[in-house]
Amino acid sequence: MIGLQFHLETTPELANGIVTNCRNELVPSPFVQTEDEILSASPDRYATVNNLMDRLLAYLLRDDT
């Protein structure tokens, strides 16, 4: 079983859309990132998590037979 606490599919465009369209849901909380934190992720960070998603999906779809 695999559980994740974040979205590996996020891109800079998706993060910007979340901030733009869901700003009212970004309430101060220990487990909710601020708008600035969300928008401050570097392109390299997105590339890293997107690569991790690719590797995870390849692992789940492997054929071990």
**pLDDT for 7-53, tens place per residue?**
889 999 999 999 999 999 999 899 889 999 999 999 999 999 999 99
Domain count, the chain: 1
Which amino acid is it at 22? Answer: C
pLDDT band at 1 (very low <50, low <70, confident <90, very high): confident
- Cα end-to-end span (Å), the chain: 19
Q: CA 26 → CA 12, 18, 22, 35, 44, distances in Å?
A: 17, 9, 7, 7, 24
pLDDT of residue 65: 64
Question: Within a domain: residue 40?
Answer: yes
pLDDT of residue 31: 86
pLDDT of residue 39: 94
Domain housing 45: 9-15+35-60
Please state whether the predicted TM-score (pTM) of the whole model is above 0.95: no
pLDDT of residue 34: 92
Which amino acid is it at 57? Answer: L
